[in-house]
Amino acid sequence: MQLHTLTSFLATLAPLSLQESYDNSGLLVGSPGMEIHKALICLDVTDEIMKEAIDTGCNLVIAHHPVIFGGLKRLNGANMTERIVMQAVKHDIALYAIHTNLDNVPHGVNLRICQTLGIKNPKILDPKKGILRKLVTYCPDTVLDNGLPVVDAVREAIWAAGAGHIGNYDQCSFLTEGLGSYRPLEGSHPYLGSTGELAREKEIRVEAVFPAHLQSKVIEALKSVHPYEEVAYDIIALENELSTVGAGMIGELEAEMDEMAFLQHVKNVMQAGCVRYTALLGKKVKRVAVCGGSGSFLLGQAIKQGADVFVTADFKYHQFFEADNKIVIADIGHYESEQYTIGLIFDALIENFPNFALLKSGVNTNPVNYI
């Protein structure tokens, strides 16, 4: 199988356009056209991971964290990043990262944490803004040869391409009747009207929203069914939140728990060496917010949305004060909060590529030890 076949799927699972600006997800080393025969899935790419890949015959490493965050000025093996890139090139091993883009999708890292902790009905904690677009196009009020009205054919096509989703609703659109005008010029082949004559046709304006990363797919779907030789359409950028994309998640436990019992539950199921937590508030835990990795930036949202506990990692000393007796912060460690990402990636790939050789790394890459 060629590498681009698998990476194209990964980019569908977690679109690269959804990664944060500081991130470096995607194909870091390797050619899209190279043949791959076995992949190793890990959280971090280290020297030990590269040895594991070489020893097990893997020529693709899929990691959650990018091994290359900043620019490389030289390759002389002076640090771990340089050594890994040199090893990858030497042994013809491709490196792919699927990081904050996998954090920001509803079926990603944070959902796996919710499932592990038993959190029900999880929703995005901090939905992203500015990634929605609106398609506006115009359809003749006519019927195609297959008997389907043009407006219905267009709507079904763009819905299938991913347009028209608003929260828990799909096939959303808005229709307005109007009168369109145009004059076909020499060399044109108009669907309606005659060359050189001004045409006035009854048309239906169709509006539907879609995530920005689906734009080319939606436009292609529109043009594939629209009967006009030149399809008129507008793409409008929106500032609305997209409720299904963003950082963190929040949901509820099936049954309330005492605070200390819940913290012990978190420690056990997340296999944490320790849990750093703020003062207990003397109330039951029901509503829980989570964020894999460094989630301190979401504390305000967790408080605003009424979470009793916020499970995440990498809080600094002074940031713990920001709990302000409004919430319990449970810092379980960066690695611990994201370790189940390996299984998430593995499950998605094995379901879609059942005959491709996949291997979960047996190396614990956690750089933090506990005594």
The pTM of the full predicted model, rounded to 2 decimals, is 0.90
Domains of the chain: 3-99+340-360 (3.40.1390.30), 109-125+246-332 (3.40.1390.30), 131-238 (3.30.70.120)
Predicted pLDDT of residue 165: 95
Distant-in-sequence contacts of 139-146, Cβ < 8 A, 24+ apart:
139/203, 139/204, 139/206, 139/226, 140/191, 140/192, 140/201, 140/202, 140/203, 140/204, 140/227, 140/228, 141/177, 141/201, 141/202, 141/203, 141/204, 142/192, 142/227, 144/227
- pLDDT over threshold 90, residue 72: no
- Residue 294: phi, psi to the nearest 5? -80, 105
CB atoms under 10 Å from CB of 176, counted, come to 11
Torsion (CA) 108, 266, 64, 252 in degrees, nearest 10: 10
- pLDDT over threshold 90, residue 117: yes
- For the ranges 70-79, 121-130, 214-223, 353-362, the lowest mean pLDDT is seen at 70-79
DSSP 339: T
Predicted pLDDT of residue 353: 98
- pLDDT over threshold 90, residue 73: no
- Quote the mean pLDDT of the chain: 97
Predicted pLDDT of residue 102: 97
- pLDDT over threshold 90, residue 250: yes
Average pLDDT on 133-153 reads 96
